[in-house]
């Protein structure tokens, strides 16, 4: 253009095959598109500038969208039709055991806790359920409850843990705080205003 020399400095990825990475494939696609249809490339850039991830609600509690262990953004808060959900369902199905149908009556293990005792598994109160001191101490979260507060990598890390008592105390206390906050928010959800209602 106007005989101005242009200098193109190739990156290390430029010398690799097109299918070496998603960045290299995108570069090859846009470069070929520029050669055949020059006016289309600017449209791609303008469209790309408009793309963004869905913004989380500003009313959400600060820090609840981060993993408990690594403090990275939670990548497990996704739609039902996602690759992560398909992976989790496949994992659950592969771990499901077929019940054996034998002639002997299966004996169910009796609960060690007395009926009507404290609902906390390790609660010191020992009083009847519903008493003033019942569940006053924070209940230890189970591994299944803790998984929803972790990213996928950390879920894989604690997957084989039989108990979460070995985790640091601050992780367990933060898990309890988030679960309490979520339960409280669910109880008062019908009285809260959504962002859409505030804009109307």
Q: Per residue in 8-35, pLDDT tens?
A: 666 666 677 777 778 888 888 888 888 8
- pLDDT given for residue 11 in this prediction: 66
Q: Per residue in 91-106, pLDDT tens?
A: 778 877 766 555 555 4
Q: State percent of the chain over pLDDT 90.
A: 0
Distances (CA, A) of 69 to 47, 53, 63, 85, 174: 36, 24, 12, 21, 10
- Three-state SS at 72: coil
State how far the Cα of 128 lies from the Cα of 135, in Å rounded to an integer.
10
Domain boundary assignment for the chain = 13-43, 138-189
Q: Is-contact 135 118, C-beta < 8 A? A: yes
- pLDDT given for residue 114 in this prediction: 40
Q: Per residue in 147-156, pLDDT tens?
A: 888 887 788 7
Phi and psi at residue 142, to the nearest 5°: -80, 165
User: What six digits make up the tokens of 1?
Assistant: 């253009």
18 DSSP assignment: G
pTM for the predicted model, two decimal places: 0.42
Q: Per residue in 28-87, pLDDT tens?
A: 888 888 888 878 888 887 887 777 655 544 444 455 678 888 888 777 766 666 677 777
State how far the Cα of 161 lies from the Cα of 32, in Å rounded to an integer.
51
Contacts of 77 by beta carbon, 8 Å cutoff, 6+ apart: 65
């Amino acid at each position: 253009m106007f005989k101005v020399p242009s200098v193109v400095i190739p990156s290390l990825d430029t010398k690799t095959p097109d299918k070496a990475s998603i960045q290299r494939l995108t570069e090859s696609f846009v470069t070929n598109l520029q050669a055949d249809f020059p006016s289309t490339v600017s449209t791609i850039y303008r469209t790309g500038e408009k793309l963004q991830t869905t913004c989380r609600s500003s009313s959400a509690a600060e820090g609840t969208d981060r993993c408990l262990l690594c403090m990275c953004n939670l990548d497990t808060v996704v739609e039902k039709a996602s690759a992560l959900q398909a992976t989790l369902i496949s994992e659950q199905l592969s771990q499901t055991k077929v019940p054996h149908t034998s002639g002997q009556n299966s004996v169910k293990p009796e609960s060690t806790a007395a009926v009507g005792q404290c609902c906390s598994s390790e609660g010191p109160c020992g009083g009847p359920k519903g008493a003033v001191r019942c569940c006053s101490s924070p209940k230890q979260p189970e591994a299944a409850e803790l998984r929803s507060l972790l990213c996928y990598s950390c879920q894989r890390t604690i997957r084989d843990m039989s108990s979460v008592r070995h985790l640091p105390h601050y992780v367990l206390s933060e898990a309890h705080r988030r679960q309490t906050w979520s339960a409280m928010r669910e109880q008062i959800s019908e009285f809260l205003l959504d962002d859409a209602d505030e804009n109307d």
